[in-house]
Copies of this chain bind each other. A is one copy, B any other.
Amino acid sequence: MSAKDAYHHGNLRRALMDGALAIIAERGIEEMSLREVASAAGVSHAAPYHHFADKAALVHALAHEGMALMDARMAAAEEAAGDDPAARLAAIGLAYVEFAVERPDYYAAFTSPECGFGRGDVEEPEEDHGDTWGRLMRAVVACQQAGCLPPGDPVPLAIYLWSLTHGLSELWTLGVLQAMPGAGAGIRPLAEQVIDSALGSMRLAAGRG
């Protein structure tokens, strides 16, 4: 970046967010400092304050963007899965795991205690967040109506599936699963197996009930 580009950078906001993501991906969100982000963007450490009120605002912006990206990805996967409700639900789950594993930077941002998907975001999803929980619920209900998930309250089913995919993502990212035999093929086969197993055995339970 030339000296001229540095002045009236044009995209400093974006550059700062990307720099922050890179640092988070590399060393974790606790290690991310505004000063390092600024210096990585080739800018003085005071410059970010023209684009973010404070450090928390940067993290919040990342969380926001991350949720929107993940929801978009889940929407696309759901759409691509066709009409079968079970396939759509599986696609949502797989997209969740893949996003969490591929983008631990975003995932760390919107999973962070201060601005993650704690209380408020589930109850009052902001519009441009996407509505991950709502999407999951609708897919679960559609499966119930199609008879491939047991009838009754959909909430416990949604919690079950969210826990499963969230836990799988987390154990992978923590490194536990990556150390296990057969992990060489990456998260995708494992996620497919886990999700198919969940939906498959639940479908049996639905048929029985």
- Which residues of chain A have a CB within 8 Å of any CB of chain B? 28, 30, 111, 113, 116-120, 122-123, 155-156, 159-160, 162-168, 170-171, 174-182, 190, 193-194, 197-198, 200-202, 204-205, 208
Q: Is the CB of A167 within 8 A of B163?
A: yes
Partner of A205, one of B113, B123, B159, B201: B201
> Would A174 and B204 be within 8 Å (CB), given that A167-B167, A181-B155, A193-B156 are in contact?
no
Q: Top 8 A-B pairs ranked by shortest CB distance?
A: A167-B167, A163-B167, A166-B167, A201-B201, A118-B175, A163-B168, A201-B205, A119-B179
Q: Is the CB of A116 within 8 A of B174?
A: yes
Q: Is the CB of B30 within 8 A of A180?
A: no
Q: Is the CB of A159 within 8 A of B180?
A: yes
Q: How far is the CB of A119 from chain B (nearest CB, A)?
A: 4
Residues on B with beta carbons closer than 8 Å to the beta carbon of A202:
201
Q: How far is the CB of A199 from chain B (nearest CB, A)?
A: 10
Closest B residue, CB atoms, query A164: B164
Closest B residue, CB atoms, query A158: B180
Q: Is the CB of A160 within 8 A of B164?
A: yes
Q: Is the CB of B174 within 8 A of A163?
A: no
